Protein backbone atom coordinates (compact mmCIF):
# COMPACT_ATOMS: atom_id res chain seq x y z
CA UNK A 1 0.00 0.00 0.00
CA UNK A 2 1.26 3.45 -0.88
CA UNK A 3 2.11 5.65 2.10
CA UNK A 4 0.21 8.86 2.66
CA UNK A 5 1.93 12.16 2.02
CA UNK A 6 0.65 15.72 2.09
CA UNK A 7 1.54 17.42 -1.20
CA UNK A 8 1.08 20.85 0.34
CA UNK A 9 3.35 20.76 3.41
CA UNK A 10 5.29 17.50 2.94
CA UNK A 11 3.99 15.87 6.13
CA UNK A 12 4.28 12.07 5.97
CA UNK A 13 3.43 11.09 9.55
CA UNK A 14 0.37 12.74 11.03
CA UNK A 15 -3.08 12.33 9.50
CA UNK A 16 -6.64 12.08 10.72
CA UNK A 17 -10.22 11.32 9.78
CA UNK A 18 -13.26 13.02 11.21
CA UNK A 19 -15.32 10.56 13.24
CA UNK A 20 -18.30 10.67 15.53
CA UNK A 21 -18.24 8.77 18.79
CA UNK A 22 -20.57 8.61 21.72
CA UNK A 23 -19.00 10.04 24.87
CA UNK A 24 -19.87 11.90 28.04
CA UNK A 25 -19.13 15.55 28.79
CA UNK A 26 -18.74 16.56 32.44
CA UNK A 27 -21.09 19.28 33.67
CA UNK A 28 -20.66 21.13 36.97
CA UNK A 29 -23.34 21.77 39.60
CA UNK A 30 -24.44 24.97 37.80
CA UNK A 31 -25.21 23.04 34.64
CA UNK A 32 -22.16 24.46 32.87
CA UNK A 33 -20.19 22.34 30.43
CA UNK A 34 -16.67 21.45 31.54
CA UNK A 35 -13.81 20.55 29.25
CA UNK A 36 -13.63 16.96 30.37
CA UNK A 37 -14.83 14.33 27.91
CA UNK A 38 -14.85 10.77 29.20
CA UNK A 39 -16.36 7.35 28.72
CA UNK A 40 -15.58 7.53 25.01
CA UNK A 41 -17.11 4.56 23.26
CA UNK A 42 -14.50 3.58 20.68
CA UNK A 43 -16.63 0.69 19.51
CA UNK A 44 -19.27 3.13 18.35
CA UNK A 45 -17.42 5.19 15.72
CA UNK A 46 -19.24 6.65 12.75
CA UNK A 47 -18.04 8.26 9.54
CA UNK A 48 -15.38 5.67 8.83
CA UNK A 49 -15.57 6.62 5.18
CA UNK A 50 -14.63 10.27 5.69
CA UNK A 51 -11.58 11.43 3.71
CA UNK A 52 -8.13 11.53 5.34
CA UNK A 53 -6.66 14.93 6.20
CA UNK A 54 -3.18 16.20 7.04
CA UNK A 55 -2.77 17.05 10.77
CA UNK A 56 -0.32 19.83 9.98
CA UNK A 57 -2.18 21.92 7.41
CA UNK A 58 -5.63 20.34 7.08
CA UNK A 59 -5.32 19.47 3.38
CA UNK A 60 -7.23 16.41 2.23
CA UNK A 61 -4.67 13.78 1.27
CA UNK A 62 -6.72 10.67 0.50
CA UNK A 63 -9.96 8.78 0.75
ZN1 LIG B 1 -0.13 19.16 5.09
Please report the pLDDT score of residue 16 as a whole number.
95
32 inside domain: yes
Please report the pLDDT score of residue 48 as a whole number.
74
45 inside domain: yes
d(CA 46, CA 9): 28
pLDDT digits (tens, 9 = 90+) for 16-32: 999 888 999 999 999 99
Q: How many Å lie between the centroid of ligand 1 and the Cα of residue 29?
A: 42
Please report the pLDDT score of residue 62 as a whole number.
83
Q: How many Å lie between the centroid of ligand 1 and the Cα of residue 19?
A: 19
Q: How many Å lie between the centroid of ligand 1 and the Cα of residue 49?
A: 20
Please report the pLDDT score of residue 50 as a whole number.
87
Owning domain of residue 48: 15-62
Q: How many Å lie between the centroid of ligand 1 and the Cα of residue 40?
A: 28
27 inside domain: yes
Question: Which residue stretches of the chain have pLDDT < 50?
Answer: none
Q: How many domains does the chain have?
A: 1
5 inside domain: no
Please report the pLDDT score of residue 49 as a whole number.
80
Task: Kindly report the pTM of this predicted structure.
Answer: 0.69
| 33-46/15-17 β-pairing | unpaired
Q: How many Å lie between the centroid of ligand 1 and the Cα of residue 23?
A: 29
6 inside domain: no
30 inside domain: yes
44 inside domain: yes
Amino acid sequence: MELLKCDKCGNIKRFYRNISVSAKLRVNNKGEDLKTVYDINKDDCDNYFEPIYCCECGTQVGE
